[in-house]
Chain A
């Protein structure tokens, strides 16, 4: 593929000095100065505890931070080397970095990491988000070991969550991925994951990096790619993930746009694989495949419902072009209900998702607009979920998720029908 180089000379020089490695841990960063040092510490601690014989490197790719994140990474690495006591690695521990002067897409950060892994011929690679405030050495070990020791190609994370955390995954990505691609992988939008050298090489050499969907959520594409028949995927339970206090929290519009955009793009590009699959299979999992806590979380349900109702009304024209008349009518009906009686159940939600996916496939409207039009409906689904599970136990929530997954699997023929519709 003819393309400009995207690794600068200084970074290449650093990679040249590192040479071939066994393990690479990448830290894609952007304004994470408050937490990134702890992330580096955890990675180096993991190296010392578990991989002290192996050739290791930490690679920081920074997307134009203004808060000194790259410097914090290097300072943390230097301080670790100078103050390390007791157990130490047999080898030189490298920490190298590439810094983009201006903000770049997360896809570009991942692509740079993948290129570094490819050039260093890393056997196993992990990506760790510095946005978490509680990265533990065990996380890195749990992600790397299945690749390094058990020859898996992709390790998706599993987190302990409070019951209203991870709603995009629980209500959309996981059920969709399970029904469409046929694999029960919970985190399709992972910020911490691991992959093999071969998998990384495959990804970096795909002609996808110019795609907007990949730029926005390459990790989703990578996780779905991990389910391809030529790769082995597994999951590793990492524990509870805490977000740094300084992060702004998830912006639903961009989260849905990024993750669902990448998901639909993967459906489009991998249809030869998933259209032939039926049912779903569990993937090997290290640890529990879910863990919910019921601690109280304040969520402004009323606001969510208002945004749903407003969106459903304002986007009526778009929704009409995307959805079947029956589905659209049903949305109109429930949008008119009193908020206490409102429900957006699994059967309707499955239809909405599949009709959106099919419309994306047929490009009935601008794809970006299409995905954005899904956001208010997603809000409606979340509002319904929150109403249903105010008092639910973790098991009841898990049962509900399972029911939703089965509903999507049941309706997969409908998806195929819509997908293959002409015009």
Chain B
């Protein structure tokens, strides 16, 4: 466990992402809740994760899975009460698990009282909390994000007879951060949760906070100024709290959100994710090496967040057209698997349930620079249901056992917020925690082991990375280093066995010790270091000098 006083705790974190609704239902109403989540904290502790990222749990009409907030200062009754949340927070902290909550700064639900007031009349004091216009002509250069559902970033409000600005769904009006009152209110919201004890925020849709004519309305200096001011206040009053940016942008653009270490602590590395999938399918390290080489340096106090899958579609915004076509052709042959500019599938089905490929991707996740995020259920290889609409197919109930509702809820199955995955391959009878817990060689057991390896050295979380360039492009090899500690990671991206000669001359005299089994390998000498790897095999070697 990392030092709990360490201000850089987020660098050593292994984050587990979940929605309260999906995890465990304690009151048999068919919906997961905080009391249920408390019951499962031992499981998460045993898995080895040390941070939880909770998706929105605020009161909401739930037209966008909670990203349409209707009250920032409470808990949606479906999931329990504020007191339940507080109990959960204490229980998590007692297990060494930090809690990151989601905050949607950019927009509210159209059901939020602020918006209801704002639309009630043009003279209402809350009117200026949102972005209004008499025409839909402004900010024409801003792209439409939800191409499948939205025709414009403006929506007509029949009540106040004007247009309001929304970068996402039309039922999610954007807040007007040019109004200082909005900023002050959102800071008060953050203080509210920080005072309760949350450890950080994942701030949703960050690039879109400000709008200016003649721009794309993304990543504007005004947006950065807002973030900087939030961070300034945070550092002054809550120095251990962490801000994580959701900015689905190219690394060079996201880099600006780290600024001089005075904006976000962490940001997602969106372009890396599809390229990990691409590399495995292509059996070629090029996509990964290329994007990491294009990734700028970030301040020492900052960290990338990396992930394989999450609650959204596997976004393909940060790839070229050629790459996107390839990803669709390889991973989303069925058009129903596609949504917006992405693929709505889980990890295991994307890997055709090939345990070796699932493990390979998780090894990459755990050994690349950045803080890894595991999406709930992926640690046991849960499947998806692409026919559930929107992105609900990757948000089905957690599969705890092979019994009633997969152990998720005691409610009638018809009452569940979502049907369970029930097909013979990925269904809860086949894929569940209880079954895998009993087997030392299950995916779950393997995940525990790989998380333990990750946590055994800060080299993974804080070290530098240097790619080796063996002539065999199917092998991705790199050395992670922190001070004198060095770890060599070698991955075979191919479905066939590979031999590789690594130029390790600079580590001459070191003895590689394989980290999973602790076995010694031959000492590194002057000659290229020959390794053979089975299909999709990976090794992590601690390089020791004896």
User: Interface of A with B (CB < 8 Å)?
Assistant: 13-14, 16-20, 52-53, 55, 87, 90-92, 94
**A92's closest neighbor in chain B, by CB?**
B473
> Most chain-B CB neighbours within 10 Å: which of A16, A19, A94?
A19
Tell me whether A90 and B326 are in contact (CB under 8 A): yes
CB-nearest residue of chain B to A86: B320
B286/A17 in contact, CB under 8 A: no
| Interface check B494, CB cutoff 8 A | yes
Answer yes or no: B27 CB below 8 A from chain A CBs. no
Contact of A91 among B282, B470, B496, B498 (CB under 8 A): B282
Chain B hits for A90, CB < 8 A: 278, 282, 284, 286-287, 322-323, 326
Distance between Cα atoms of A91 and B284 in the complex (Å): 6
Min CB gap A407→B, angstroms = 53
> Which residue of chain B is the closest to A52 with respect to CB atoms?
B322
Digit string of B301-337 for contact with A (CB within 8 Å is 1, else 0)? 0000000000000000000001100100000000000
A-B pairs with beta carbons under 8 Å apart, 6 shown: A13-B501, A17-B473, A53-B322, A90-B284, A90-B322, A92-B284
From known contacts A52-B322, A87-B322, A90-B278, infer whether A16 and B472 are also in contact, taking CB-CB under 8 Å. yes
Knowing A17-B471, A19-B474, A19-B498 are in contact, say whether A92-B326 is a contact too (CB < 8 A): no
B499 at interface, CB cutoff 8 A: yes
B285 within 8 A of A: yes
Q: How far, in Å, is B297 (CB) from chain A's closest CB?
A: 21
In the complex, which of the residues B322, B498, B500 has the most CB atoms of chain A within 10 Å of its own CB atom? B322
Residue of B nearest to A48 (CB): B322
**Cα-based distance from A90 to B288 in the complex (angstroms):** 11
B499 contact from A16, A20, A52, A53, Cβ within 8 A: A16
Which of B463-494 touch A at CB < 8 Å?
A: 470-474, 494
B469 to chain A: closest residue by CB: A92
Cβ–Cβ < 8 Å partners of B287 in chain A: 90
A92–B286 Cα gap in the complex (Å)? 6
- Taken together as a complex, chains A and B put the C-alpha atoms of A17 and B502 apart, in Å, by 12
| Residues of the A chain whose Cβ atoms lie less than 8 Å from the Cβ of B322 | 52-53, 87, 90
Task: Return the contact of A14 from the options B326, B471, B494 (Cβ within 8 A).
Answer: B471
Q: Within the complex, which residue of B278, B326, B494 is in contact with A19, where a contact is CB–CB below 8 Å?
A: B494
Q: What are the residues of chain B within 8 A of A92 when measuring CB–CB?
A: 284-286, 473
Distance between A153 CB and nearest chain B CB, rounded to angstroms = 26
Q: Is the CB of B472 within 8 A of A53?
A: no
Q: Give Cα distance in the complex from A92 to B474, angstroms.
A: 9
What is the bound-complex CA distance between A14 and B494, given in angstroms? 17
Q: A52-B322, A53-B326 are in contact. Are A94 and B473 (CB under 8 A)?
A: yes
Residue count of chain B within 8 Å CB distance of chain A: 21
Chain A residues contacting B284 (CB-CB under 8 Å) are 55, 90-92
- In the complex the two chains form, is B473's CB within 8 Å of A91's CB? yes
A135-B471 Cα distance, complex, nearest whole Å = 28
Q: Which residues of B contact A16 (CB under 8 A)?
A: 472, 499
1/0 contact trace for B238-255 toward A, CB 8 Å?
000000000000000000
Bound-state CA distance A14–B285 (Å) is 17
Q: Which residues of A contact B278 (CB under 8 A)?
A: 90
Given contacts A16-B472, A17-B473, A19-B472, contact A91 B286 (CB under 8 A): yes
User: Which residues in A have their C-beta under 8 angstroms from that of B283?
Assistant: 19
Nearest 10 pairs between A and B by C-beta?
A17-B471, A92-B473, A17-B472, A91-B284, A92-B286, A92-B284, A91-B282, A52-B322, A53-B326, A90-B282
A20 → chain B closest CB, angstroms: 8
Closest CB of chain A to B318's CB: distance in Å? 15
B330 to chain A, nearest CB (A): 9
A264 to B259, CA, bound (A): 75
The residue on A at minimum CB distance from B330 is A53
* CA gap between A14 and B501 in the complex, in Å: 11
In the docked arrangement, what's the CA distance between A122 and B323, Å? 23
Residue-by-residue, is B321-359 near A (CB-CB < 8 Å gives 1, otherwise 0)? 011001000000000000000000000000000000000
Please state if A17 and B285 are interface contacts (CB–CB under 8 Å).
Answer: no
User: Distance in Å from the Cβ of B490 to the closest Cβ of chain A?
Assistant: 14
Residues of B within 8 A of A13 (CB): 471, 501
Task: Taking A13-B501, A14-B471 as given, write out 18 further A-B residue pairs in contact, using a Cβ cutoff of 8 Å, ordered by the A residue number.
Answer: A13-B471, A16-B472, A16-B499, A17-B470, A17-B472, A19-B472, A19-B473, A19-B494, A20-B496, A52-B322, A53-B326, A90-B278, A90-B282, A90-B284, A90-B286, A91-B286, A92-B473, A94-B473
Name the distance in Å between A58's Cβ and chain B's nearest Cβ.
14
Residues from chain B with Cβ under 8 Å of A87 in the complex = 322
Max chain B CB contacts within 10 Å: which of A16, A17, A92?
A92
Closest chain A CB from B20 CB (angstroms): 39
CB neighbours (8 Å) of A53 from chain B are 322, 326
Taking the closest CB of chain A, its distance from the CB of B195, in whole angstroms, is 49
The residue of chain A having its C-beta at the shortest distance from the C-beta of B289 within the complex is A92
CA distance A278 to B333 in the complex (A): 50
Q: How far is the CA of A16 from the CA of B496 in the complex (A)?
A: 12
Q: Which of B283, B286, B471, B500 counts the most A-chain CB atoms under 10 A from its CB?
A: B471
Q: Chain B's nearest CB lies how many Å from the CB of A46?
A: 15
> Which A residues lie within 8 Å of B499 (CB)?
16
**A90 to B496 Cα, complex, angstroms:** 20
Distance, CA A110 to CA B249, complexed state (A): 49
Q: Which residue of B lies closest to A17 (CB)?
A: B471
Whole-angstrom distance between the alpha carbons of A87 and B321 in the complex?
10
CA distance A17 to B500 in the complex (A): 7
A55, B474: Cα distance in complex, Å:
11
**Minimum CB distance partner of B471 in chain A:** A17
Chain B residues, CB < 8 A from A52: 322
Bound: A16/B473 CA distance, A = 10
Most buried by A among B284, B287, B470, B500: B284
A92 to B472, CA, bound (A): 10
Scan B500-528; emit 1 where CB is below 8 A from any A CB, else 0: 11000000000000000000000000000
Contacts of B501 in A (CB 8 A): 13
B275 closest partner in A (C-beta): A90
Q: Which residue of A lies closest to B470 (CB)?
A: A17
A18 contact set on B, CB distance < 8 A: 471, 473
- The answer for the CA separation of A16 and B475 in the assembled complex, in Å, is 12
> In this complex, what residue of B is CB-closest to A93?
B286
CA distance A53 to B325 in the complex (A): 10
Bound-complex Cα distance A13 to B496 (A): 17
How many angstroms from the CA of A53 to the CA of B322 in the assembled complex? 9
- A87 to B474 CA separation, bound complex (whole angstroms): 22
Closest CB in chain A relative to B408 CB, distance in Å: 40
Residues of A within 8 Å of B470, CB to CB, are: 17
Smallest distance from the beta carbon of A361 to chain B beta carbons, Å?
48
CA distance A53 to B494 in the complex (A): 16
B residues less than 8 Å from A94 (CB atoms): 473
| Interface core residue of A17, A52, A87, A90 (most chain B CB under 10 Å) | A90
A91 to chain B: closest residue by CB: B284
A38 to chain B, nearest CB (A): 25
Chain A residues positioned under 8 Å from B498 (CB to CB): 19
Closest to B494 in A: A19
Q: How distant is the Cα of A90 from the Cα of B282 in the complex, in angstroms? A: 8
Interface string of B247-288 (1 = CB under 8 A from A): 000000000000000000000000000000010001111110
Residues of chain B contacted by A19 (CB below 8 angstroms): 283, 472-474, 494, 496, 498
Q: For A15, give the chain B residue with the smallest CB separation.
A: B471
Contact residues of B between 349 and 387, Cβ < 8 Å to A: none
Most A CB contacts (10 A, CB to CB) among B326, B470, B472 go to: B472
A98 CA / B78 CA spacing, docked (Å): 69
**Segment 433-475 of B: residues with Cβ below 8 Å from A:** 470-474
Q: Contacts of B286 on A, CB cut-off 8 Å?
A: 90-92
Compute how far the CA of A55 lies from the CA of B493 in the bound complex, rounded to whole angstroms.
Answer: 14
A332 to chain B, nearest CB (A): 64
- Residue of A at shortest CB range from B322? A52
Residues of chain B within 8 A of A91, CB atoms compared: 282, 284, 286, 473
Q: How far apart are the CA atoms of A19 and B492 in the complex, in Å? A: 13
Least Cβ distance of B285 to chain A in Å?
Answer: 7
A96 → chain B, closest Cβ, in Å? 8
Point out the residues of chain A lying under 8 angstroms from B496, CB to CB: 19-20
